[in-house]
Copies of this chain bind each other. A is one copy, B any other.
Amino acid sequence: MTTQDTVKPSAVRTAAEVATWDFEADVVVAGLGCAGACAAIEAAEAGADVLVLERASGGGGTSAMSGGLIYMGGGTPVQKACGFDDTPEEMFKFLMAACGPEPDEAKIRIFCDESVSHFHWLEEHGVPFKYTHYPEPFMEPPTDDCLVYSGGEDAYPFDRIAKPVPRGHKPQAPGAAGGFLMQRLVAATEATPARILCDARCETLVVDGRGRVVGTVIKHDGTHKAVRARRGVVLTAGGFIMNRDMVARHTPLLWKASYKLGQDGDDGRAIRMAMGAGADVIRMDAGEVAIPIIPPRRLMRGIFVNQFGQRFVNEDSYPGHVAQECLFHQDGKMFLIVDTAIYERNLAGMEATHVEETVADLERSLGFPTGVLQHTVEFYNQGAARGEDPVFHKQPGFLTPLNNPPYAAIDCCTDKVLWAVFTLGGLHTLPSGEVLDPDGQVIPGLYAAGRTTSGVAAYGYVSGVSLGDGTFFGRKAGRQAATSAFTA
């Protein structure tokens, strides 16, 4: 067990123990990913003296590893330019349905109501968007186009709950734009008076005699140093997917996935630091799950079957939804079944693992009992020929009978392909970024945003919501900390 593999909170230091403050600032931000950058910018622009502490040798964090999609809507200029008519209410209805059960209604409400204004803020801070729509959904466009469907808004059942429109906004850079986004956000941070200290790992919080968070102890240049935060500490240091013990304790099924989507820093340290100061954690069992089966989405003319050879989901759903269904409800086992008219190597280079001239042979080759897959395909084909999927409601555009031999299966089980997962649970915060204790009381001087917190996605997930709520609530937290009435 390495030191970060622990479920233990980090015991706080008391201010009385701190002999000298090595650094001081009004607002100390821990972690320079998207949430930290936005917190620092807002705090600095509110007039606070800001110090950003980044554990790595440069900013970016796990945000920089992402595709760059930011979930925004309610009528952004990009949506309007592309002819999509959206409202905060439609966005709210969708997110409430897609992010449950029991999503944080207050967070979702403000996230939707102020989404257009957030778009403008990002533009004003150097994040450019091309006002174009890219038709292939669910992933960042390979081009520098912007707007994509990123959450299955156009798939059953969400297409019946809210008007389907795309809300994934990618900054204007070709392909995965997380790195580009973070370059821009770090540059915007650097354009403020905020100072950035790299190779500075927060170890624990410092609290005063009344329980107020007044600083943090960091490891920097090989030694421990004390950092005073006159107005507050903002924790924006990622989730806990790299911490085996925390995953085993809180969301054991996630560990089955082959790829933990994070950096070393996603070891839950910020969460455990805050717990040491009395913070509450919620939704620790929730996880995002991604599989690279698409693009292209046209592969979804095939069918997913579970370990019993049954379909279990509409294949045109958001792939993260398919993957959550599979990992949490189908024991992480599924296969994509296609015929030769549909089959192609997908963008991730996944290839057929089983190819046979008949479905009966494919069924045998997969080790399914005789007749199961044959029936699944036959029944699916009957509906597809009529343009109907009466059971799972896949859209007609993806309904093509599978009847062009040879037939193939792509083994998508957790032990066969790359499943990328990260944690969604974390600190319980108000929309303002204030961190709550289990009594629901604000812990003075402590703020958090991003995957260190439980955010817009309580359990269900849509692409773009992590950068979306990280940037949005990072701003809220930075502003709240900077304007805190109290000065330590």
Contacts and interface: CB of A to CB of B under 8 A. Distances in A.
A308 B248 CA distance: 32
A309 B379 CA distance: 13
A10 to B, nearest CB: 9
A420 interface: no
Interface stretch (A185-193, A220-228, A370-378, A464-472): A370-378
A481 to B, nearest CB: 25
A252 B379 contact: no
Contact of A382 (B285, B371, B440): B371
A128 interface: no
Given A275-B438, A379-B375, A308 B8 contact: no
A438 B329 contact: no
Given A249-B282, A390-B370, A8 B438 contact: yes
A383 B375 CA distance: 14
Nearest to A275: B438
A52 to B, nearest CB: 28
B253 A101 contact: yes
Contacts of A237: none
A155 interface: no
Nearest to A388: B369
Interface residues of A, number: 35
A81 interface: no
A121 interface: no
A483 interface: no
Interface centre among A285, A328, A330 (most CB of B within 10 A): A285
Classify the interface of chain A: helix, strand, loop or mixed. Answer: loop
Given A9-B438, A370-B390, A375-B379, A252 B329 contact: no
A391 B369 contact: yes
Nearest to A285: B285
B308 A391 contact: yes
Nearest to A369: B390
A391 B372 contact: yes
Contacts of A101: 252-253
Given A102-B248, A249-B282, A371-B379, A392 B439 contact: no
A375 B375 contact: yes
Nearest to A382: B371
Given A101-B252, A375-B375, A375-B379, A11 B439 contact: yes
Given A7-B440, A310-B310, A369-B390, 20 more contacts: A7-B438, A8-B440, A9-B438, A101-B253, A102-B248, A102-B249, A249-B282, A275-B438, A285-B285, A308-B311, A308-B391, A328-B329, A329-B329, A329-B330, A369-B383, A370-B390, A371-B382, A372-B379, A372-B391, A375-B379
Interface of A: 7-9, 11, 101-102, 248-249, 252-253, 275, 282, 285, 308-312, 328-330, 369-372, 375, 379, 382-383, 390-392, 438-440
CB-based closest 5 A-B pairs: A369-B390, A329-B329, A101-B252, A102-B252, A8-B439
